[in-house]
Amino acid sequence: MTNKLPRSKKSVADASSNKAKVDKLALEIGRRISDARNGLGFSQTAVHTRTKLIDPDGSGVSRAALSLYEIGTNKPGAREITLLCEVLHVSPNWLLYGSESPAKTLQPTSIFLAGDDLDIATRLAFAMLALTPTDRDSLANLVFSILSGKLGDMQLSSLMAMANMMRESILKEMIKSVGEGSQKLPLPELIDRFVKEMAGAMSTNYGNLRPSLTEEEMYEGTEYSPPRSLK
C-alpha cells in the first residue's frame, strides 16, 4: 500500500527539498548583478535595452532571464556575462567571485605563502599588525623561543638591530598611508587604522557604491547612443 503525505505536509517536504538544492553561487552572482544594476539606477528593462544595443545578435539579455539570474534560479552563461559586465561596468571576475582577483578569493593561503623568503617574511611581519596584542605576544614568544635556540645571542641581537633601523621607515609609511594627523595617534590606534585602511584600499569592491553616471558618460567613447526616453 502506497503511503501518501497530506497535501500540506507534502508542500513542506517539497520546500525543504528545494531549499537543500539552492545554488549558492547562483544566489551570489544574482545578488551582485542586482547590486550593480541598482547602483547605476537601472531597471531590469533598461539593462535589457542596453544589452540589446551591444549584442552583435541584437537579442541582449531578456528581462525574464535577468530576473531569474537576480533571484538565483539560473546562472548567466559566458555570452550573458560579457553583455552584463559591459552594461553594468563591472568585471567578470567581480561578477563571478566578488573580487577582482579570483585566485585571491579561492586560494588566499597559498598566495600568502607564495614567493621567495623575503616576500613571505614581509607578509608575516605585516600580518602580525592585524593580530590582537595578546595573540601578537603569544606568536612573538613562540618565534623568539625558536630563534634564540637557533641563532644565539649575537645573531639575534644583530637581527633586532636591523629591525630597529627599519622601524622609523615603516612608521613613516604607515603615517603617510593613514593620512594627516595620524602622527599624533597612539601606536595601537595607528596600527589598527593602518590595517583597516590598507584592507579597504587593496580589496575594493568595484561593483558596489559607484557614483551615478549620466547617459552621456555611460556611452562616451562608444558607437552607441543612449536609448530614447519614452514619455
Count of beta carbons in the 10 Å neighbourhood of residue 32: 23
pLDDT of residue 32: 93
Question: What's the DSSP call for residue 229?
Answer: P
Query: Would you write out the chain's pLDDT as a tens digit for each of its 231 residues?
Result: 445 555 555 554 454 445 445 688 899 999 999 999 998 899 999 999 999 999 988 899 999 999 999 999 999 998 999 999 999 998 888 888 887 655 444 455 556 666 778 888 888 888 888 888 888 888 888 888 878 777 877 888 888 888 888 888 888 888 888 887 788 888 888 888 887 777 655 444 333 334 444 445 544 554 444 444 333
Alpha carbon distance 14, 6 (integer Å):
12
User: On the CB side of 141, how many CA atoms lie within 13 Å of its CA?
Assistant: 6
- Dihedral-angle region of residue 22 (phi above 0 means left; psi in -120 to 50 means alpha; beta otherwise): beta
At 80, list the grid cell. 550573458
Q: E strands within the chain? A: none
Residue type, 91: S
pLDDT of residue 4: 53
Alpha carbon distance 51, 210 (integer Å):
20
Q: What angle do CA 107, 109, 111 make, to 5 degrees?
A: 70
Contact of 129 with 139, CB cutoff 8 Å: no
Q: Where are the domains of the chain?
A: 15-100+206-219, 109-202
CATH number assigned to the domain covering 15-100+206-219: 1.10.260.40
